[in-house]
Every structure is written in structure tokens, then in C-alpha cells.
A and B are shown apart, each in its own frame.
Chain A
Amino acid sequence: MIGLSVSFLLKVIVVLLVILFLFTVYLLFQRRREIRFAETRDTFLQNYSLPWYNYLINDENFSIVLVPRGKAQVAAVEIIFSSYLKNILDEKVEQKIKEFSNLYLKEFYEKDLSSRRWSIRMNALYRIADFKIDELLNACQQFEKSKISEEENFQLLKIYSLFQPELFIEKIKELTVHYSESEYRRLFVLLEDDIFIRLFEDFDSWTKNIQFAAIDTAAVKRNMQYIDQLKQLLTHEVPEIQIRALKGLYEIGVIDEIDPYVPFVTSDMWEVRLMVAKIFKHVPLNYSYTYLEQLLEDENWWVRSQAAKTIAENKEGIAKLQQFMESSNDQYAIEMAQESVVRKQGNK
């Protein structure tokens, strides 16, 4: 039995070694190909970077030499385009890239979409969105019907949001996969205002992640018209949404009335009280001070710390804090006030 095993093992080793040898040869061959590919790509970059600059930036006439031939040259053009898009903000450049890609790169990516390789398809989807190849919208919808991964589906959503927002809203409603908040943010942040605001219309019908992402995106857009939407959410029954809405309003930084926020000072959740202590930064101190003093004596460290910080940031804050230290008998609160005062004075 063992004798058989030895010869068997020997055979296995020989077979494996032969496979590995062939694999090595294949790799070395691949390397040669890669090098040739890189050479062609770099030559194109070398020769046509300047003509591309002249076309994109200096408005020179389009020349047929700019059109890439073969995969390596397409890779070169991709490098040029993404360098411009990543670094330069210019509608004219974007428009030119879009036109060119729709005309000359469309077929490459259409073919890549039907590739067996997931990574090739993903790259194609990236480029369609980056270069705004809207003529491939139909191809994308067709592509959606095949069995696709979550990541591909996400890229498709991004493409729809760019080319056909209506379709995007539709798709996101019937979404079966769940994306992370940060992914939804990436989708929402690019939306036009009128489309984006529709997310708030039917707010409760969305999944949690969409709700959170919508609130955060509203905050980062710093658009006045979202303030009302966020204020309405302050009375939402889910505490997490309340906290997010408070955070969003804090980030927008425009607090026109203090009344809606006062009830939160006595909230059961310390996170809520922390957010209120932050929001009072944007309110004149004489309106907010009584509440802040309350928060300064809060049982939670973070709330106390934030309340002290908020007071100290105000011009009259230091004086108020010193007054407080004399009158209060809450040792923790006094320490916190002390730290804020020292910190503030140290900065001057």
C-alpha cells in the first residue's frame, strides 16, 4: 500500500511541478505582453497629451489622431480623461469628454459589459459613469437583466441617477439588496435638488439606511430648502432619526428659532442632549444659556463637555463660566467649566 503511495506521490509531485513550470512560462509570456501594452500606452500618452490639452483646454479643433486604436491606446485615453476629471472642474472639458466617449469609446465599453470577467464589467461601468456615456443607458438596462452582482447593481444605480433620475427613483424603490449608508450617500449627493427632495416625500417608506443617508446628504448640501424637511423629522418617532436630524441641522448651522429644540434638553438619551448642546452653538448665548447650564450639570461626560465647549466659544462665555464655577456646587460640572476656560485662554 505504501509502495503505491510513494509512486503515487511522486507522480503527483511531478505533475504539479510540470503544471507550475508551464504556469511560470505563461507568466513570463504575460509579462512580455504587459510590457508591450504599457509601452504602447505610454507612447500614446507621450505623443498625444499635449494635443489633448490643446483640444480640451485651449479649444483647438478636434483632430482624428486623438482617437485611440486598440486596447492600450484606450487605456491611455482613460488615464488622460480621469486625470482631467479628477483634478479639473470645467464644464466645457466634461462636455468634450462626454461627446468624445459617446462617439469613440462607446463600443469598447459595450463589449466589456458582456465580458465574463466581473472586474472588466465593473471597470466598464465605472467609465460609463465617469465619462457620462449616456448612449449606453439602454445597454445598461439590458445588462441589468442578466445576473449581476451587488456591486454592479450599485454602479448601475449611479449611472441611472446621472442619466435618468426618474428611473433611479423607481429602481431604488424596488431595490432588493441593501447598501451601506456611505454608498447611498454617494448616490444621493449627485442628485438634482428636485429629485433629492422627493426622497423626503415618502420618508417612512424607505429603509433605515436610505433614511439616514438622505438626512446626512441634506445636511452636507447646506441648502436652505432642506431645513424644513429636517425640522419635520425632529418629531419622528424613531430616536435615531431625531438625532440624525439634529446633527444635520447643526451642520447646516442655521437655527432660526430655539423652541423646537428646547424639549430635547431633557431627553432621556444622552446622544440627543449632546446634539442639542452642539446646536446651541448657533444660537445667541442669552437665549440658550439657561439650557446650557442645565446641560453643564448633565450626568453624561460628553454632554457636560460639549455644553462647556459651546459656552466657552461665545464671547461672553468665559465670564459666564467663571460665574457658574462660583455659584455651582456640582463638582464635575465645575471641573469641566474650568477646563474649557483654561483651554480657551490658552489659545489666545
Chain B
Amino acid sequence: MAKTITEAQKQEKIAALHEKRDALSLLLRDAKRTHERDSLIAKIETIDEKIKKVRTGEILTRQEKRNLVAYSFIAPNFIGFAIFTLGPIIFAFVLAFMRWDGNSPMKFVGLKNFIDMIGNARFHSSFVNTIVYCIATVPLTLASALGLAVVLNQKIKGRNFFRTVGFFPYVASLVAVAAVWNMLFSPQKSGPVNMILYNLGVHAKSLPKWSADPHWVMFTIVLFSVWKNMGYYMVIYLAGLQGINAELYEAAGLDGCNSWQRFRYITWPQLQPTTFFVTIILTINCFKVYDIVYMLAGGSNGIVSSQAMVLVYHIYEEAFRNWNLGYSSAVAMVLFLMVLAITLVQFRGEKKYAN
């Protein structure tokens, strides 16, 4: 890059840059809005840098050097992120309008995948099941997490121990805890839970078959999900509870409020932003449910019946069992739109609670 320029060329360049700079300064004098002024000032600064660059004959201006340093910080993560996350996301949007089995060339089919979806019974049940799962799991998890948090926010002995216990199912490996659940809720009469029910006087014939029973399988999944995840939301609620001003409770104590009244008129309204946030996160996580269903209802071959299958399972089976990659991406778009809708609600809510 030994590009030498004569002194005259240099002066000419500098003069041209100065001219530009003067024009911008004039604009700046007239500019009224702050963001307009800011962008003009930035432009002038860039020109100043360029003038300096020409004058000193350096290859890079200071700002350019700074940019490069910053990019070197970002690059390791961003390159990985762009290739393995951003790329596939864009690909997913394209794929939803294609027909592809992974080997033969892709073919554009317009909205056909979406039309196929409407007529597909397995899509119907997976969609309905996801919604049912969500409607059952969200309020139950919310209530148990809140209850647990309120109890564990009291000054009691061994509080930290109880918190750890409440949280542990959340970090425990799903495969391992699902294995225990499958044994505890074994469909046979000899299963521990069924044995307890039997001894409590439930007739042997009417004992639930849990995950082996089409009517009980969703209930079993919901129960397990609440048990496994409530600890996580409890932690969020505990943080929310610690943010409540203690003076409010003192005032309530002076007014002679009982525990219920304190919960009803102080804790609950004060926790509203937390509850909102927990509801959002919970709903999104419910939409994404897959592995719980796979473990509890998948049996030994991993095939889930139509009473328990959820959207992500439908995506999985269409893609990796039937190799309908385009169709499965169309189903993924439905999942995306559901999550997007909830995220938009979240953004609106955040604005509301920020004020």
C-alpha cells in the first residue's frame, strides 16, 4: 500500500474536505432539533479526522482504530452468533415457504405448508394441547411460586435450607427426575402413588393410569411441570417481595390488619409488576415445552400420542422423522408468532410499569 501522493494533491484534498466542513457548519447553525445537531457534529468530527489523516499521511484515523479495537472485542461472539443463530433464523423464515426433504433441491411452494397445516389433525391436537398445557400450568405455577415465596420470606428457622429445597427440582436433570416420576406415578396398581390412593379407598379399577391414560396424561404432565419449575419463579417472587417497602407493613400492623388483609392490600398489589413478568416468562416457556412431554408420555420409543403431543414435538417429528423440513418450519412460524405476541405484550407492560 505504498501509495504516495504529491504535496499538491494533499493540499487539494484538504481544501475539498474543508469546503465540506464549512457547508456542514452552516447547516449546524440553522439546525434546531438536538438529534439533528448531534448528527451534524458527528459528521464534522469525522471530516476533522479525515483532514488530520491526509495531513499526517496515516493509514487509519483514530476513530477507525478505535472501531477496529471494538470489533475485535465483538468478533469472537458475533461471528459464532451470526453463523449459528442469526443465519438459521433467516433460513427458517425462508424454509417455511419451501418444500424440502434435505436432499433434493428446495422448491418454492408459497403458502402451501400453511394450508397443509390447517388440514393436519396432528397439528390441531398439538396446537390445542399446547394451549391447554399453558392455561393449566401458568396459574398453578404462579400460585405455588407466590405461596412458596410468601412463606419463605417470613423470618423462620432454616429459611435458606427450605429455599434450596424449593429450588433444587429446577436445576435437577430432567431425565433423572422424570424417571422417578414415571415410577412414582406408575400406571400399575403397585405404583407408589396409586398404592396410596388404593389404601385411601379408591377402587382398584378406577385408579388413574397417569401418563398411560389418555385422559390423565396431560394432568400428569402439568403436575410434574409445576413441581419442577415453581422454584425458579419463587426466586423471582422473593426478589419482588424484598423490594416492598417495610413501612407499608408497619402501617398495616398499626391499623390492626391480619395476615390475609396484608397480603390482599399490600403484597399482591405491590407485586403486580413481578406477577406480570412471571406470567410472560411462564407463558413463553409453556409454548416451548417439549422435553417434559417426551420424557413422561414418550414411552420407550419416544413417540407421543395425540393426547399429549405439543407444537415443538410436532416440529420435531415432521422434521426428523418425516423429513418435511418446509412444513416443520411453517409450524415453527406459528410458534414464533405466539411467542412474538407475548413479547409485544411484555414490551407494552414494561412501559406501563416503568412509569
Q: Do these two chains really belong together in a complex?
A: no
